[in-house]
Structure 1
């Protein structure tokens, strides 16, 4: 949220219902109605300037911990093109605070056996070491995935979703457990040295179109298909309780925002979709990936495996972009118009697109989008 500154295909299951109109909004002109590329949507300009104002304070003995205002990355593997960005929010830019979001994009392995990981994290609000906690948990999950990438890539190609779910749950628990141990070592409450974590696994094998999301904490997972956005975020109900069907929840379950996304988006698995029983709130038993058992995360673990179709755009983002995208249809309509039925944007264009602002939303934004050929 924003506070004003002082003084200033037929064989696949049917897709989930769209939460935004399939007909994109009309092009949005730039400020002043000049017809240029939009800097913001909504009734008026945001409170803060669109460009950075103040730099965070620097420690002369800790310059290796400096966090840049903006990070851009991208790649093309298999049938997908990846664009990723992390940008300091308008509020932090004005106040001279470091970016609390962290972004890691890494490839493990080579050739068609390679596995691409996108990890993003958001540190706790108003905590002095928030940016360090976010960066550390991204490095830890990256190290854990990298050490197990051969088995993970094999499970992806073989559609062993049960193994993937339990194994990634375990790696996530271990990474977040290390963060809590770091808080104890610093004499901090766990909530003051904590972070959300959201990850995508993308196989380089062009014959494998399975895309795996996993993580803990708020944010967004959305798919742009046929010009309409679909909310793909797994609900917390997929983690505890009765067995679930597929990866989007049992029949009748709904996701946040009342979109009613049904389960069964696990095409390519067993007939009728994989039926998986989750951990039921207890610590995971030893699984196929390295490492001892770990304390479960405080928030529910979320997992979704989906099968991509040509023309899809899969978007994973932190809450700084998910909140305005889910709350302001004009922003979703604008991005749908820009990203539907075209070649993937370049890095600079993706930075502009993902940075379209909305009054009242001034947090860091981190996003990764995957265009399917």
Structure 2
């Protein structure tokens, strides 16, 4: 019989039948001691695994009477229930096994009872059996099988936690939940700002970041803003008038073509030069609602390398009702005259014929101003009121020709910016030249240096031109200058509204020299911002044309 459970009896293991057959008399119960020492020895043997009976173990044992140890039953065999022996009565009935009320044979120690927690001893030739590790889930724990008994233990279900007051089950305990795996951090792009400039609100799945705790160290002051690219004014203080237009000039519904815009801006690039031109109303005219008295004309005559650029600007008489009309007409007259003669002018500029250029342009200027005065007489206006100062600049489009020609009559200025320094190149005239009449246009009789009398001495009057009336002598001297530009030069021609502050305010000269000394010409908007920098005490209209040499 095996202590591991019932199994079919084998011939070599039928020791029970050999000892207790019909020929063997019953020995009766064996007297054994039941003292404290015997119980201690039995407990020690059970713990340490030493052989010995449960009632002492001090008497010698008969090796022939000691039962043989059975090999450990494999798990798959132990799982099957033991067969039940057939029932017997009388002498054929087998005695009960040890531990069930029948003592073992005399001289034989009963088999040692193994504790439930004691692992079975390894038998030679038998594989070692190990119980599987306990399986643990979040709520139930399955105890390991007893040593040598690989049957499943009953499942114990723990009661569910009571629900919350709101009816939902309580969350699982935090100490029994598996630790969440670390997820990679994904940086979401910031949402673009709204059209009104304010940042977009954070999305609903991203709560707003908590505010940083206040630190004991005061924050550092923000850096100073960069200096502005353009100024509003220079000098000791701001001008009296507002920097922007205030009132519009009065308009005649029947003469809307006579309206003049507050600001005119233009530009071009031909050959080796870049042109920027602007004409804007002064602070006083903007405040009083007066029209701009300055006029600006930029025109190109011809094509290709034979083209000629003309920049003309005129200023009407101060406090005259039609000053802006006189300035615009002066520009149209000189433009028409230059356009008709542009081929001869281009040839003279290329050949550097200074004498021919000066005399021809002087004649064109006098005729244009003479026609202007003649138109004033036809309109019944005073010639002194319907007049204008005129200044012009000729620029050939040929990149190999760097000759720049200036001519005109009246107030204004001509400056050159070279190596960061301003040069006033306005042509100087002597006092004797002021008011000198032009020969052939109504001049009185005069003598030559050799003493010869002119045609008027013969008594033959100068006939009037059948095409245009004879103009009066110009009030202002004619100014002419032809120069060769160098790479990097900036030539500036302007009316009195900008020439006077350039001559009288050093801060304006320094500012424009810093802005316009760069190799590349500024854009139209930047040039306009530079040209309208105001100076206290100078509130007239400003018209300027600048040429940057590549």
Tell me, yes or no, if the aligned pair for 1:310 and 1:372 is still in contact at 8 Å.
Answer: yes
1:108 equivalent in structure 2: 301
Post-superposition CA distance 1:321-349 (Å, at most 9, x none):
00001100110110000111320001111
**Helix, strand or coil: the match of 1:97?**
coil
**Larger CA deviation: 33-42 vs 224-233:** 33-42
CA–CA distance in structure 1, aligned partners of residues 258 and 479 of structure 2: 30
Q: 1:311 aligns with which of 484, 488, 501?
A: 488
- Does 2:312 correspond to 1:156? no
Tell me, yes or no, if the aligned pair for 2:437 and 2:474 is still in contact at 8 Å.
Answer: no
CA–CA distance in structure 1, aligned partners of residues 350 and 364 of structure 2: 19
Tell me, yes or no, if the aligned pair for 1:227 and 1:340 is still in contact at 8 Å.
Answer: yes
CA–CA distance in structure 2, aligned partners of residues 129 and 356 of structure 1: 27
Tell me, yes or no, if the aligned pair for 2:299 and 2:310 is still in contact at 8 Å.
Answer: yes
* Structure 1 position 110, deviation (Å): 0.3
CA–CA distance in structure 2, aligned partners of residues 280 and 186 of structure 1: 27
Tell me, yes or no, if the aligned pair for 2:371 and 2:471 is still in contact at 8 Å.
Answer: no
**Helix, strand or coil: the match of 1:218?**
coil
1:200 equivalent in structure 2: 393
1:331 equivalent in structure 2: 508
Q: 2:270 aligns with which of 66, 77, 91?
A: 77
**Helix, strand or coil: the match of 1:116?**
strand
CA–CA distance in structure 2, aligned partners of residues 79 and 94 of structure 1: 40
* Structure 1 position 281, deviation (Å): 4.6
**Helix, strand or coil: the match of 1:192?**
coil
1:345 equivalent in structure 2: 522
Higher RCO (CA < 8 A, seq sep 6+): 1
Post-superposition CA distance 1:261-301 (Å, at most 9, x none):
xxxxxxxxxxxxxxxxxx9754269xxxxx88754311100
CA–CA distance in structure 1, aligned partners of residues 246 and 292 of structure 2: 13
Structure showing greater Rg: 2
1:245 equivalent in structure 2: none
Tell me, yes or no, if the aligned pair for 2:374 and 2:471 is still in contact at 8 Å.
Answer: no
Tell me, yes or no, if the aligned pair for 1:105 and 1:118 is still in contact at 8 Å.
Answer: yes
RMSD over equivalenced CA pairs, Å:
1.9
Distance 1:81 1:284, change over 3 A: farther
**Helix, strand or coil: the match of 1:171?**
helix
CA–CA distance in structure 1, aligned partners of residues 503 and 432 of structure 2: 23
1:296 equivalent in structure 2: 473
2:227 equivalent in structure 1: 35
Post-superposition CA distance 1:162-203 (Å, at most 9, x none):
111000000000000011001111211111101000000000
Distance 1:282 1:59, change over 3 A: closer
1:180 equivalent in structure 2: 373
Distance 1:150 1:210, change over 3 A: same
CA–CA distance in structure 2, aligned partners of residues 239 and 117 of structure 1: 30
Post-superposition CA distance 1:222-254 (Å, at most 9, x none):
00000000000001229849xxxxxxxxxxxxx
Normalised by the size of structure 1, how large is the TM-score?
0.77
CA–CA distance in structure 1, aligned partners of residues 333 and 314 of structure 2: 11
Give the 5 Å matches for 1:211-226. Answer: 211-226=404-419
Higher helix share: 1
* Structure 1 position 124, deviation (Å): 0.3
Higher strand share: 1
Give the 5 Å matches for 1:1-373. Answer: 35-36=227-228, 37-237=230-430, 240=433, 281-283=437-439, 295-373=472-550
Normalised by the size of structure 2, how large is the TM-score?
0.53
Post-superposition CA distance 1:7-32 (Å, at most 9, x none):
xxxxxxxxxxxxxxxxxxxxxxxxxx
**Helix, strand or coil: the match of 1:139?**
helix
CA–CA distance in structure 1, aligned partners of residues 432 and 396 of structure 2: 25
**Helix, strand or coil: the match of 1:46?**
coil
* Structure 1 position 144, deviation (Å): 0.2
CA–CA distance in structure 2, aligned partners of residues 284 and 108 of structure 1: 29
**Helix, strand or coil: the match of 2:297?**
strand
**Helix, strand or coil: the match of 2:344?**
helix
Unpaired runs of 5+ residues, structure 1, are: 1-32, 242-278, 286-290
Show structure 1 runs of 4+ deviating over 3 A: 238-241, 279-282, 291-296
Tell me, yes or no, if the aligned pair for 2:415 and 2:493 is still in contact at 8 Å.
Answer: yes
* Structure 1 position 35, deviation (Å): 2.9
* Structure 1 position 105, deviation (Å): 0.2
**Helix, strand or coil: the match of 1:236?**
coil
CA–CA distance in structure 2, aligned partners of residues 284 and 161 of structure 1: 22
